[in-house]
Amino acid sequence: MEEGHVQVIRIGHRSARDVRMTTHVCLVARAFGADSAVICGEPANDVVESVRKVAENWGGRFAARYEPSWKKAVLEAKKRGEAIAHLTMYGEPVEEKMGEIRKRGKVTVVVGAELVPGEMYGLADYNISVTTQPHSEVAALAVFLDRYFGGKELGAEFKGARLRIVPSAKGKRVEETNIKG
């Protein structure tokens, strides 16, 4: 895809409660074309490891890492000149702001778990809503990235995959491949 670097930061991860949801956030980031994810909050080695295994089997260069301080992760992205887009139901509509965000070339997308520190709203260049209804950070991230990449990400090939699905009207077809990335 032509667009520049896309990073996803998951803030407020809780080891006891959020393993599955944070894993879905990372897998959505990968499947919808982001380059990397940073998980912030409580330790998330289990999530990092399960994302690593998915990437090993299904290809591409996506990697997730753990960084305790969400603020450090966000400030580093700002320093690199990335647009900071924080997804929140309170923000401005994605359909109005996407053109502007895409022009910035590089973007870090921030998604929270249940409680997002107020400071995040100020640090963000864009607070962006995907509908103004309560739903799911996993869904908001997917739709944001789908708009960012204009749908092209849906058919992307992942280099170096060991496993590849052959789309099929009924049933499951998985190929083992020897493509090298």
User: Would you tell me which residues interact with its own copies (CB under 8 A)?
Assistant: 20-21, 24, 27-28, 30-32, 54, 58, 88-95, 118, 121-122, 124, 126-127, 129-136, 138-143, 146, 151, 153-156, 158, 164-165, 167-174
Closer residue to its own copies in complex, CB, 63/89 = 89
- C-alpha–C-alpha distance, residues 8 and 73, integer Å: 10
CA distance 9 to 43: 14
CB-count burial class (<10 Å; 0-12, 13-18, 19+) for 164: middle
State how far the Cα of 103 lies from the Cα of 30, in Å rounded to an integer: 22
CB of 5 to its own copies, least distance (A): 19
Q: What minimum distance in Å lies between the beta carbon of 39 and its own copies?
A: 16
- Nearer Cβ to its own copies (9/60): 60
| Distance of alpha carbon 53 from alpha carbon 59, whole angstroms | 10
- Say if strands 63-66 and 83-93 run parallel, antiparallel, or are unpaired: unpaired
CA distance 96 to 126: 11
Q: Least distance (Å) from its own copies to the CB of residue 72? A: 21
* Shortest distance, position 26 Cβ to its own copies, whole Å: 9
Considering beta carbons, is residue 81 or 122 the nearer one to its own copies? 122
Instruction: Please say which residue, 39 or 142, places its beta carbon nearer to its own copies.
Output: 142
